[in-house]
Amino acid sequence: GAGVSQSPSNKVTEKGKDVELRCDPISGHTALYWYRQSLGQGLEFLIYFQGNSAPDKSGLPSDRFSAERTGGSVSTLTIQRTQQEDSAVYLCASSPLGRGETQYFGPGTRLLVL
C-alpha cells in the first residue's frame, strides 16, 4: 500500500516568510510525528499527534513553529517568520497506534531559507 507522503519535496523561501509543510500518513495510522534533520545533526523530534490531538509538543524549537492535524489524517507543519537556521529536512512519520510501535517515515521536505 501507499506509504507516508510529504509535500512539497523541496521548498526555497526568503527569510521572514511563512511556510507550510504537508504530511499524508499511511491510511489508518492514528499516530503521526514530525522530525527535523539538519546537516550534521541527528533527527530531532518536534511533535506527536494521536488522532487530532497533540499530547507531546516538547520538541518544537520556538513559538514560530506550529502544527495541526485534521480528520485524523493530514497534518500541516507551519513555520512563521522563517530564519536561516530553520533550513533542514523536515520528516513526517506515522504508526498504527503510537506508544512504542514502529514509526514509518516519509521522504521529507527539504527546506532552504535564504
Partner 1 sequence: EDQVTQSPEALRLQEGESSSLNCSYTVSGLRGLFWYRQDPGKGPEFLFTLYSAGEEKEKERLKATLTKKESFLHITAPKPEDSATYLCAVLPGGGADGLTFGKGTHLIIQP
Applying CB under 8 A, the residues found at the interface with partner 1 are 4, 31, 33, 35, 40-48, 55-56, 58-59, 91, 98-100, 102-108
- Which one, 48 or 65, has the nearer CB to partner 1? 48
Q: Determine the Cα–Cα distance for residues 106 and 99; give it in Å rounded to an integer.
A: 19
In this structure, what DSSP letter does residue 39 have? Answer: T
Rounded to the nearest whole angstrom, what is the least distance from the CB of residue 40 to partner 1 in the complex?
Answer: 8
Residue 112 CB: number of other CB atoms within 10 A?
13
Express the helix, strand and coil content of the chain in percent, nearest 5 each: 5, 50, 45
Rounded to the nearest whole angstrom, what is the least distance from the CB of residue 98 to partner 1 in the complex?
Answer: 6
Amino acid in position 6: Q
Rounded to the nearest whole angstrom, what is the least distance from the CB of residue 82 to partner 1 in the complex?
Answer: 22
Rounded to the nearest whole angstrom, what is the least distance from the CB of residue 45 to partner 1 in the complex?
Answer: 3
**Dihedral over alpha carbons 94, 98, 102, 108 (to 10 degrees):** 20
